[in-house]
Structure 1
Amino acid sequence: MSRLRRFFKLCLVGLIAGLLLQAIGCGGGTVSEQPMRLTIGLVSYDDGASSLEKYERFQTYLAEQLKAVVELEPVFNEIRAVEQVRAANWSLVFAPSGLAAIAIAEANYLPIFPTLGTPNQKSVLVVRDDSPFQTLGDLANEAIALGEPGSATGYYLPLYDLYGLTLEKVEFASTPATALEWVADGRVAAGALSEDDFQQYRRGFEDGAFRTLHASRAVPPGAVLISPRVDRNQQQYIEQAMQNASSAVTSDAGYIPNAAPPDLSQLIALVEKVRPLEARVKEQPAVLTISTDGLE
């Protein structure tokens, strides 16, 4: 009799375990109900704390709307940002135009909204006001500062415009403010940064300390992009939530919910054209030519 009871007890335990596993496998149990997790990537240069504050309302809103765990991940230079998008580690990216071009071309990110900012951004090469240089050609055999790879206005656009020159060396400034500091103290003859950043950061120096030697072609603003790893259905929920956000939320986060994402195809093509120059930039002297008919 005891063996029979033990047999029925084992059968009952097995039946209960089987029912539990079936419920979990079918999504019928709470064990399988994991919230969506989203990581938002930001490039914040040297103002990381204030950048996070700007996105906190958006972070809270998105978490509530999607019943998701939403994390902010700021990085302080384009090099780290490029690494993150190439690995598709960020679910959403608030990307300046250069990083957006790389995310689209190399990591299959999808642009969904334009970011706020100047519609037609330009890169400027800045010199000290007392500099003798008047044209790009005057920078031959001089040291200059570029931004880091991944920046359209600090790196790709000026590199394109400097094609054909031989430079003494190229220094890489991690922030636009650093590029201006190097120009001011004579470490480099010229520094590249966006026109908007120049107007912002020049305020930290004496009036009339700098002048613009050259301005590049215009490029579109940045974009909000979504990772190819995000499920298509989740993507629709994210886009809808972002479209329905209040103006206070979208303004803080810096995107335009009722506009088409920017067309970055020309910038993507320009980035591809200057790729062969990237190895030359690290040499001393930096000979910015390639063994073809040029970049056009």
Structure 2
Amino acid sequence: MKIIVLPRLFFLPLLVLIGLLGVGCNSKPTNNIPNRLTIGVVSYGEGKVSLDKYERFKDYIGSQTRSIIELEPAYNELQAVAQIQRKRWDIVFATPGLAAIAIGKELYIPLFSMEGVSSRQRSLLIVRDDQPIKKISDLANKTVALGETGSAAGYYVPLYDLYGLTLAQIRSAPTPVTVLEWISDGSVDAGAISEQDFELYRRKFATTKFRILHTSRWIPPGVVLLAPTIERNQQQQIQKAMNDAPADLAADAGYVPAAKIPNYTEFIKLIEKVKPLEGRVRQTPAILLPETPYQSK
């Protein structure tokens, strides 16, 4: 009986063939699995009317990036901050306060300016015209309504402007309309609201005459942000799609591809200055000075 020893080279093509067959039978294509992207916006509870303007953008980005797109509204800045901190939103149409938090603390990447809808924004302190309050210092020992944490015009900027005062109470209003409701019915003596929202919502209160007590510095426009969890190639794909979008589609969504992205450095510093006051906001009275080590004991 002869034993035939085949050369080693004989087995190589056979092993390669078996390997290829194994790959062909067992592997599953992964490039056909669509990505999922969540777009975050603040709608203040306005529902379908507020969200309709994003529908074309949602469909466009989905087709351009071959992704499944979900549009997720938050009904105030407090909800939005939580979603940003958890990195639940991949693309964010961020108001200025949210943008400062997302860029400064959460490393979100600014893609485009929303200059078309919020370039001329300031914070206003509003009172009823029949009130004897004439200047900010007259708000000492009064009740003031602020917006939720995360709002630039409703929370951070007015806190900065009210620095040093002792207020009887600060009430947190979930929406800009609520601020005007409380001023109108006398629940609060004054309230903070953006200039833009004041012009939009004051018409709902035909029987109340409001007066602007104080107008703040200019606030930078909002920006469209991208989560730091997005892979770089996908980031470039999203950015190119948004840059090449039809002008009317971009306008509906509220961003301006050609506008310069605002520098948030100084505004982030302003927010950091008022952060030490946040513990005082919920106290009664609200003493708007940072706690010293002695006071906190």
TM-score with structure 1 setting the length = 0.89
Asked if 1:158 is matched to 2:158, the reply is yes
Alpha-carbon distance in structure 1 between the residues aligned to 2:269 and 2:20: 61
Per the alignment, residue 179 of structure 2 pairs with 179
Alpha-carbon distance in structure 1 between the residues aligned to 2:86 and 2:104: 13
Per the alignment, residue 90 of structure 2 pairs with 91
Task: Name the CA shift for 1:17/1:286 in 2 (closer, same or farther; >3 Å).
Answer: farther
Contact (CA 8 Å) 1:243, 1:257: kept in 2 or not?
yes
- Correspondences of 1:195-274 after superposition (within 5 Å): 195-206=195-206, 209-274=209-274
Alpha-carbon distance in structure 1 between the residues aligned to 2:149 and 2:93: 17
Q: Once the 2 structures are TM-superposed, how far is the Cα of residue 33 of structure 1 from its aligned partner?
A: 2.9
Alpha-carbon distance in structure 2 between the residues aligned to 1:120 and 1:251: 16
Which AA in structure 2 matches 1:214?
H
Alpha-carbon distance in structure 2 between the residues aligned to 1:287 and 1:93: 34
Q: Once the 2 structures are TM-superposed, how far is the Cα of residue 17 of structure 1 from its aligned partner?
A: 8.0
Alpha-carbon distance in structure 1 between the residues aligned to 2:142 and 2:174: 20
Contact (CA 8 Å) 1:113, 1:223: kept in 2 or not?
yes
Per the alignment, residue 142 of structure 2 pairs with 142
Which AA in structure 2 matches 1:258?
A
Equivalent residue for 2:23, pick from 8, 12, 19: 19
Task: Name the CA shift for 1:218/1:30 in 2 (closer, same or farther; >3 Å).
Answer: same
TM-score with structure 2 setting the length = 0.89
SS in 2 for 1:107: coil
| Rg (Cα) greater in structure | 2
Q: Once the 2 structures are TM-superposed, how far is the Cα of residue 31 of structure 1 from its aligned partner?
A: 4.8
Q: Which 5+ residue runs of structure 2 have no aligned equivalent?
A: 1-17, 293-297
- What is the CA RMSD across the aligned residues, in angstroms? 1.8
SS in 2 for 1:192: strand
Q: How many residues align?
A: 275
Q: Once the 2 structures are TM-superposed, how far is the Cα of residue 207 of structure 1 from its aligned partner?
A: 6.1
SS in 1 for 2:252: helix
Which AA in structure 2 matches 1:67?
R
Task: Name the CA shift for 1:265/1:126 in 2 (closer, same or farther; >3 Å).
Answer: same
Alpha-carbon distance in structure 2 between the residues aligned to 1:133 and 1:81: 34
Alpha-carbon distance in structure 2 between the residues aligned to 1:15 and 1:290: 69
Per the alignment, residue 120 of structure 2 pairs with 120
Contact (CA 8 Å) 2:128, 2:183: kept in 1 or not?
yes
Alpha-carbon distance in structure 2 between the residues aligned to 1:89 and 1:168: 37
Identical residues among aligned pairs (%): 50
SS in 1 for 2:117: coil
Q: Once the 2 structures are TM-superposed, how far is the Cα of residue 262 of structure 1 from its aligned partner?
A: 1.2
